[in-house]
């Protein structure tokens, strides 16, 4: 065979690589197959269509809690999550985070029912009052709906300022 190397050492290396490659490919394939049930995708309400987020599949739904949509009935809370393009109804049983309120950015983990109502098993909100999940903020910015706290347009880019550090040299920080 002319494609094999002439050196016995190189031939041996080639056979080792040829034998190890399918074993490694099989190990990677089995690992990825085993992890597919643990992957949770993030969707905004406008992306959570019946095709992209089928009923029964665990996903994360993020957006802003719609004003006037929170209804509490004992331990069950229902509310609407919006990304200003679409709205999804969410039902959650349990204690909500302390900073949960209308207009707040949240991420709910759960699944859609056949009626396209999202049944959340977890509602996440960060301890900071100005928190909005990064994915939600990115999607609002991409759709042009981003409104920072003051209601003004978001700054185009952060500015850099040179400031002295305690060690005597200057450091750059982003405002």
Are the beta carbons of 165 and 172 closer than 8 angstroms? Answer: no
DSSP 55: T
The answer to whether 175 is annotated as binding is no
The answer to whether 127 is annotated as binding is yes
Residues 6+ apart with CB under 8 A from 174: 158, 159, 160
In this structure, the chain runs to a length of 175
- Other C-beta atoms closer than 10 Å to the C-beta of 74 total 6
Q: Per-residue b/e over 136-148, b at no fewer than 16 CB within 10 Å?
A: bbebbeeeeebee
Query: Alpha helices, DSSP H only, in the chain?
Result: 8-35, 134-143
Q: Give the H or E element holding residue 65.
A: strand 59-65
Binding residues for heme: 127, 131
Binding residues: 127, 131
């Amino acid at each position: 065979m002319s494609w094999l190397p002439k050196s016995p050492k190189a031939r041996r290396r080639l056979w080792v690589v040829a034998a190890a490659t399918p074993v490694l490919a099989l190990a990677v394939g089995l690992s990825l197959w085993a992890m597919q049930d643990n992957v949770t995708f993030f969707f905004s309400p406008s992306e959570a269509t019946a095709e992209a987020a089928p009923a029964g599949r665990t996903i994360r739904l993020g957006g802003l809690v719609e004003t006037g949509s929170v209804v509490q009935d004992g331990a069950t809370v229902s509310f609407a999550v919006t990304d200003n393009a679409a709205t999804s109804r969410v039902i959650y049983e349990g204690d909500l985070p302390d900073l949960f309120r209308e207009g707040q950015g949240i991420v709910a983990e759960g699944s859609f029912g056949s009626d396209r109502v999202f049944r959340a098993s977890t509602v996440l909100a960060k301890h900071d009052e100005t928190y909005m999940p990064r994915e939600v903020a990115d999607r609002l910015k991409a759709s042009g709906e981003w409104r920072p706290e003051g209601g003004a347009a978001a700054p185009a880019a952060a500015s850099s300022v040179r400031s002295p550090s305690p060690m005597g040299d200057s450091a750059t920080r982003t405002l």
